[in-house]
Amino acid sequence: MQVPETDAFPRYHDLATRTLGPLLALSTNSPFLPADCYADADPERVVEGTHHELRIAAFEQSMNRACEKVRVPADLEDPADIVDHVVADDTYAPFLEEWVAEEATDHDGGPVDIGSCWEFDYKRGTFWRWVRGVVCGDAVAGA
């Protein structure tokens, strides 16, 4: 979603975070894994012993080993907080500007200006939250 004014971003972000849980639960968060994962288990024991919100927890636990890369984001007080959250996030691997510049081409095959914030864009790509803001994204007509 695009936010009409920068100052309104924290409010939109926090509202998106509040509606995230119910929407995920209704659309994707089945309490059961595929049937072949249970072999010959007793169905009643499976129901009693299974978390009601299994898939999100399973996904987060599979991704979060040494740090909490995948999680619901904290609230924002100020629009600049989004940048601070990305910068403070653990970095997985360095990325050299030369790697981006050599491979960057536009739709016509020409070189792309990777801009002055390429390092931030790269790190933002490894900043995984259920809701995350995008700084300097392309505007969508009519949004």
Q: Using CA atoms, how far apart are residues 36 and 11, in angstroms rounded to an integer?
A: 43
CB atoms within 10 A of CB 16: 16
Q: Using CA atoms, how far apart are residues 33 and 42, in angstroms rounded to an integer?
A: 14
Checking phi first, is residue 102 left (phi over 0); if not, alpha (psi -120 to 50) or beta?
Answer: alpha
Taking the domains of the chain in order of start, what are their residue ranges? 6-125
Q: Using CA atoms, how far apart are residues 85 and 79, in angstroms rounded to an integer?
A: 11
Q: Read off the amino acid at residue 143.
A: A
- 27-69, pLDDT tens digit by residue? 666 666 777 777 788 888 887 877 666 666 666 776 666 667 6
20 pLDDT tier (thresholds 50, 70, 90) = confident
Query: Is residue 18 scored above 60 in pLDDT?
Result: yes
